[in-house]
Structure 1
Amino acid sequence: MILTRKKAAMISVICAVLVIAIICLLTKPSQSNLLFQLGEEVSPVAIDAGEFVPVDSNKILTEQNARLIKVENFHAKQLNNDRSLHIYLPPGYYTDTVKRFPVLYVQDGKSVFDYSDWSKESLGMHVTADKLISEKKIQEIIIVGIDNIGEERINEYAHWDGIDMGKPVKGKGLLYENFVIHDVKPFIDQNFRTMKDREHTALMGASIGGLVTFNIGYRHPETFSKLAMMSPYFGWGDGKIYSELDRGVYQEKRPVKLWIDVGSTEEDFMGMAAAVISFLRKNGYQDYDELAVYEAPGGEHSERFWADRVEPILLYFFGDIGKPQSVALYMEQEVSISKMPYGNMNAVVTYDSGFKLTDIKGNYKVEKPELLLVGTYGRLRPLKEGKTSVTFLSSLGLEADGEITVVK
């Protein structure tokens, strides 16, 4: 009798464990129930492009509420090659089956959500987008990462021939442009609930991916209304972009909203960006509303640093940046008369939403102007040894102070 009771107790425990396990399986959160977290490994649902059907009737995706999707072997007709597309769907995609969403297309697609083969770093855009959406700071969006083709990356991202690391480059930018506009976008519009018009379509890229983003978007404002260039390699190909700015479609102001950023350690890229920014402002682009510029303090040329700039880009394009809250003045504590480059001052304005930009319209007031000049974009020109304070008067009604020493 005692043995029977023990068996009965054991059976009861086993049954309870099984019930709990079944409940856990049935209530296991799907991708759409959870927000993506930093450092979390989430495998996308992979489907061959030839077998892909629209999401709303795609059981493979709807049964899993898949929000990270990899479309494999997607064919580029004119380039005649295949690559993958990496797609992020917002948390509410499966709960509202009528709603349509803006789309952000991003170059170098693998590192948009996953780790780059080159740097082993990631932009982690799915994490940032989920965070901002959950905080109701941006609208829900779809993000599409377009893979590069390894050795063909430079060729496809270049709109003209050139030399890269001693090797000749045959520019295939026009063919790649055709691929993005006439292959990728129609596929996304046909298979996902997108807002197809230009007002809700954006393009983004980093380094030479920023250059091709500028070229494609500036040439096709009928397709894209927002362009984000992170550490753009405007000087690639002997800086041909600078001569192009005075001719053809480039010489006219286009109806696009522009974001340009660069890290403060990227001295060469800062100079390249400054030249294009000057052209755009001369062409009539209005600071803040049409053109946002950000020099990221300590920023370097890799995904880990670009990831920190994803949030202000998403806020600028798809949210409400809010109101200016504070300004901080980043600068060298010491500058040498005999050592170039002299560097620059960087006035970073932070908004109440967390949005950041560099105020390039403000004025610098040097206490002892005989020691130091501060020019366009905060460029420094040391004149004489000594110490002076500098006050920055923001065009947004804010103020910041700093002190700098000029040495021989």
Structure 2
Amino acid sequence: MWTNSTIETIHNFHARKLNNERRLFVYLPPGYEGGEQRHYPVLYMHAGQRAFDPAKPGTESWNIHKAADRLIAEGLMDGIIIVAIAHVRPVTANEYYHFTGPKDEIEHISCSGLDYEDFILNDVKPYIDSRYRTLQGPENTGLIGSSAAGLCTYHIGFRNPDVFGKLIMLSPYFVKARLGKKEEFELHEELIFEPYGGHPPLRVWMDIGDAEGLFLPSHVKDAVDILLQNGFRYGDDIAYLEQPEAAHQETDWGARVHIPLLFMFGNTGKATSLELRGRDVVGLQGMTVRINPIVHFDSGFAMSELNGTYAVEDPEVLEVKPDGTIVPKKEGSTTVTLTSNGIQASKRYEVVSALSEGVEVRMSVEVPEDTPDDSTIYGGMGMELLSVGSNRYEGRFLVPRDSGFNFRFTRGFRKFELDAEGNGIANRSFRASENTTLHCKVERWEGVHREEPERRSHASLEF
């Protein structure tokens, strides 16, 4: 008997080692109430307060229940149970950092990932298995998370492959990259994950948006390459997608969450189309250019092709490696054709003498008059700005060409910009394909109380 899906809320669920409480949200698929003998796979989701509905007005959610409902209704996936575990804000400890975290954050908080892992293994999972009709075994049990929760999924999954056999990581936060504040161009990278060797019996999904800033996209791709070198089979027990124009935010994760759900629990269907994404101008000297070929399926599934067969019209101009890396040979232009899953796609590429790896971004921002003089102001992906007086901060940075940024200004640690009425604002966005100058204005800071806020328009970004 068909019934609608339901979401149950479990309040004040206690974590023994963490000594805190939070809510659990449990998605039960259509038919659960009428199928008394049927048991279901379980997907445990971190940051569960954003799984189904916005955590608070003005914020976004994944709407993963709507994605699951649609896939089940269309016969593309059997029913699953989704257990969304609310996050406790990292005031003194971050539950998603197992061993280390970015230095600027660890100054304020400690890492409690091991205790959070224990919480899921010994508090949450036994409770769910005892209360709901779950299928047992790692082949029926998964973890899903994005950003730092993707990092947490990686650590918990690779440490416990006998429990969690399906790992879904959207934009996993494997590296913290920030730009310095000195006149010379400074770049600081901090790896905050511990890689695991070997080939445990896991099925892995990783993806990344190509508008996620400095080096997160390349590091996620590097992590996939390491797993392939360790014996994971592409398209079988690991898959990867570099999503064009996607940023580091719930809206974009929710828009593509159906893709890993299909890979893990559903039917991916038949390949129907192929596109070659990325820039079409390559330099004999300078930046390395890699084609991002995306295969689309009739189910809505999509994945990047990492082992393609490329044909080049004029091989004296360039060649293309199986992973899409273009090797330029001389100036000129030629057509490249990729064949994958029985489908072909072509694109014309031009080789020029040089294409610098970096471009310059100059950023200035006007801040509210009540901004403390000793404030540290950050722009996109850790761009630290310096005060130049008159409520203005500026910075000059060299960033990788084609980097995409989607951000809000912050003051110090996690104090975001707001509009004049004290509400959250939409992220600012830009892509650094050429030298760029940005002039911006912040209306108000989070955590600053004003009895009579001055009426102004929303924060603006001028190019």
TM, length-normalised to structure 1: 0.77
Give the Cα–Cα distance (whole angstroms) in 1 for the partners of residues 167 and 36 of structure 2: 29
Q: Is the 8 A contact 2:276 2:346 kept in 1?
A: yes
Q: Is the 8 A contact 2:29 2:79 kept in 1?
A: yes
Please report how far the alpha carbon of residue 372 of structure 1 lies from its aligned counterpart in structure 2 after TM superposition: 3.6
* Corresponding residue SS for 2:351: strand
> CA, structure 1 residues 269+128, in 2 after alignment: closer, same or farther (shift >3 Å)?
same
The one of 113, 130, 143 aligned to 1:190: 130
Q: Is the 8 A contact 1:233 1:272 kept in 2?
A: no
Aligned residue in 2 for 1:401: 346
Q: Is the 8 A contact 1:226 1:256 kept in 2?
A: yes
Give the Cα–Cα distance (whole angstroms) in 1 for the partners of residues 296 and 88 of structure 2: 38
Aligned residue in 2 for 1:51: none
Whether 2:122 is the aligned partner of 1:177: answer no
Bigger helix share? 1
Per-residue CA distance 1:288-337 (angstroms, 9 max, x = gap): 11111111122111111111221111111111212222222112233455
Whether 2:141 is the aligned partner of 1:201: answer yes
Q: Is the 8 A contact 1:392 1:399 kept in 2?
A: yes
Give the Cα–Cα distance (whole angstroms) in 1 for the partners of residues 198 and 160 of structure 2: 12
Whether 2:20 is the aligned partner of 1:81: answer yes
Q: Give structure 2 stretches of 5+ with no counterpart.
A: 177-188, 355-463
Aligned residue in 1 for 2:307: 361
The one of 74, 80, 98 aligned to 1:141: 80
Aligned residue in 2 for 1:129: 68
Match runs of 1:188-337 below 5 Å: 188-236=128-176, 238-241=190-193, 244-245=194-195, 250-266=196-212, 268-336=215-283
Structure 1 stretches of 4+ moved >3 Å: 32-35, 116-119, 164-167, 333-340, 368-377, 379-385
> CA, structure 1 residues 303+405, in 2 after alignment: closer, same or farther (shift >3 Å)?
same
Please report how far the alpha carbon of residue 355 of structure 1 lies from its aligned counterpart in structure 2 after TM superposition: 1.3
Please report how far the alpha carbon of residue 375 of structure 1 lies from its aligned counterpart in structure 2 after TM superposition: 4.0
Q: Is the 8 A contact 1:253 1:284 kept in 2?
A: yes
> CA, structure 1 residues 328+204, in 2 after alignment: closer, same or farther (shift >3 Å)?
same
Q: Give structure 1 stretches of 5+ with no counterpart.
A: 1-31, 36-66
Q: Is the 8 A contact 1:119 1:303 kept in 2?
A: no
Corresponding residue pairs, total: 338
Query: Which amino acid is 2:346 matched to?
Result: D
* Corresponding residue SS for 2:349: strand
* Corresponding residue SS for 2:102: strand
Please report how far the alpha carbon of residue 191 of structure 1 lies from its aligned counterpart in structure 2 after TM superposition: 1.3
Query: Which amino acid is 1:239 matched to?
Result: L
> CA, structure 1 residues 164+93, in 2 after alignment: closer, same or farther (shift >3 Å)?
farther
Please report how far the alpha carbon of residue 339 of structure 1 lies from its aligned counterpart in structure 2 after TM superposition: 6.1
RMSD: 2.3
TM, length-normalised to structure 2: 0.68
Please report how far the alpha carbon of residue 373 of structure 1 lies from its aligned counterpart in structure 2 after TM superposition: 4.5
- Report sequence identity in percent: 38
Give the Cα–Cα distance (whole angstroms) in 2 for the partners of residues 181 and 118 of structure 1: 32
* Corresponding residue SS for 2:190: helix
The one of 21, 39, 47 aligned to 1:100: 39
Give the Cα–Cα distance (whole angstroms) in 2 for the partners of residues 85 and 370 of structure 1: 59
Over alpha carbons, which structure has the higher Rg?
Answer: 1
